[in-house]
Structure 1
Amino acid sequence: MSDAAARPVVSDRVWTIPNVLSALRLVLVPVFFVFIVVGNDLAALIVIIVSTVSDWADGVIARRFGQITKLGQLLDPAADRLFIMAAVIGLAVREVVPWWLVAVIIGRDVFLVVLGVVLAQHRFGPLPVHHIGKTATFALFYALPTLVLGQAFPAVAAVSDPIGWAFALWGAFLYWWAGLLYLRQTRALIRQHPLDSGDASDTLARRRATDG
C-alpha cells in the first residue's frame, strides 16, 4: 500500500460530530478556569473528565467514519493547550503550583508562535507535530487534573500530588525538548529554501523528510 493510500483523507467540512465535540471542549475551557480559580475543584474535575472523554470520542469518530477535517486538526490541539493553560494559571493563582511553571509552559507556546511567524514569512505552513510534542501534551494534560484531584479530595493528595508533579515536570521538559526540535526543523527549512529562492513550499507536507 502506498503512502498516499494509507494517509487519511482530510476534508474541508465544518459541521462534523468531531468538530462539534472539539468546539464543546473549547467552550468548557473558561468554565473549567472559573471553577479552578474559585476553588470548586470537584466541579473542575468533572469538567476535565467530560473534556477527556469527548477528546477520545472525537478522535475515534473522526478516524472510523472518515470525518478528519482541517478545522478539527486546529480545534483539537487548541482545546488541549487551552485546558493546560487554564489549569496551570488557575492553580498558580491559588498557589498550588509555582508561577515559574506557568512561565515555562506558556513561554514554550509563545516560542512556537514566533517560529510559526518565521515560517509564514518564508511561505511555509505549520510544522508537523512531533511525537515528543504529543507526549509532552499528554503528560501535561493529565498532570494538572491529577493535581486538581488532590485539591478536590485531600485524602488522596499524598498519592495524587507526587504523580501529578512527576507528570508536570516530565511534561514541561518534553514540551521544551519538542520546541527545540521545532527550532531545528525551522532552521533547516529556511537554510534549504531561502526566502529569495522563490521555491519555498506553501505547506510543510512535502517536506516531512527533512528531519526524518
Structure 2
Amino acid sequence: MNIPNLITLGRVILVPVVFWLLVSGQTQLAFFAFVLAGISDAVDGFIAKRFGLSTELGAYLDPLADKLLIVSIFVALGVMGALPSWLVIAVVSRDILIVLGVMLSWLLDQPVRIRPLIVSKANTLAQIVLAATVLADDGFKLGLEGLRIALVWIVGVLTIASLAAYLRAWLRHMSG
C-alpha cells in the first residue's frame, strides 16, 4: 500500500458519495466530486510513474475505480432520466461482458492479458466527457442539450465498437 494506491482507494470511496449526491438531487456537488475524482486519477498516475511507485495492486485497482465511478454515474443518470436507458444498458452490459470474458478465460485455463484498446480508450474518454457535460448542464443549467445528444450517440457508437473489438480479440485468443 502506497500513496498512489491510497489516492485510488479514495476514488473508490467517492463512488457511493457521487451516486448518493446524484440520486438525492445535489447535481452541483456531484459534479465537483466527479471533478475531484478525475483530478485524483491524474495525481495517482503521475505519482506512481514519477516516483516509481507502480504496483500490481494499482494496476488492477486504478481501472476498477474508474469503471466503478463511470458505471455508477451512468446508472444514476439513467435512473434520473438524464441519460437514455438504452445507453446506460449498453455501457453497463459492455463492462459486464468484458469481465465475464476475462473470468471465463481464466476458468478455462486460458488467461487473457488485459490491454486497453485504442477504441476502448476513446470510449472511456467519451463517457467521461458525457458524464461531466450532463452533470455540469444539470447542475448549472448551461443549456447544452445539443451537445448532450451528440455525445450520447458518440458514446453509443464507441461502446458498441469497443465491445466488438474486445469480443474479436477474445475469440482470437480463445481459439488459439
Give the TM-score normalised by the residue count of structure 1.
Answer: 0.77
Does 1:171 pair with 2:155? yes
Does 1:144 pair with 2:144? no
What are the Cα deviations for residues 163-191 of structure 1, in whole angstroms up to 9, with x where unaligned?
34433331232222122112111221222
Q: Which of 47-56 and 67-76 deviates more?
A: 67-76
Q: How many residues align?
A: 175
Q: Which amino acid aligns with 2:28?
A: L
Pairwise CA RMSD of aligned residues? 1.5
Provide the identity percentage. 29
- CA distance in 2 between counterparts of 1:123 and 1:190 reads 7
Q: Which amino acid aligns with 1:38?
A: S
- Residue 70 of structure 1 corresponds to which residue in structure 2? 56
Aligned partner of 2:24 among 17, 27, 38: 38
Structure with more contact order per residue of length (Cα contacts < 8 Å, sep ≥ 6): 2
- Structure 1 unaligned blocks of 5 or more: 1-14, 193-212
Does 1:89 pair with 2:75? yes
Give the TM-score normalised by the residue count of structure 2.
Answer: 0.92
**1:94 to partner: Cα distance:** 1.5
Contact 2:123 2:155 in 1 (8 A): yes
Q: Which amino acid aligns with 1:150?
A: D
- CA distance in 1 between counterparts of 2:50 and 2:29 reads 32
Q: Between Structure 1 and Structure 2, whose CA radius of gyration is higher?
A: 1
- Structure 2 unaligned blocks of 5 or more: none
Q: Which of 89-98 and 164-173 deviates more?
A: 164-173
Contact 2:112 2:173 in 1 (8 A): no
Q: How does 1:1-212 map to 2 (within 5 A)?
A: 15-120=1-106, 121-154=108-141, 156=142, 158-159=143-144, 161-192=145-176
- CA distance in 1 between counterparts of 2:61 and 2:139 reads 29
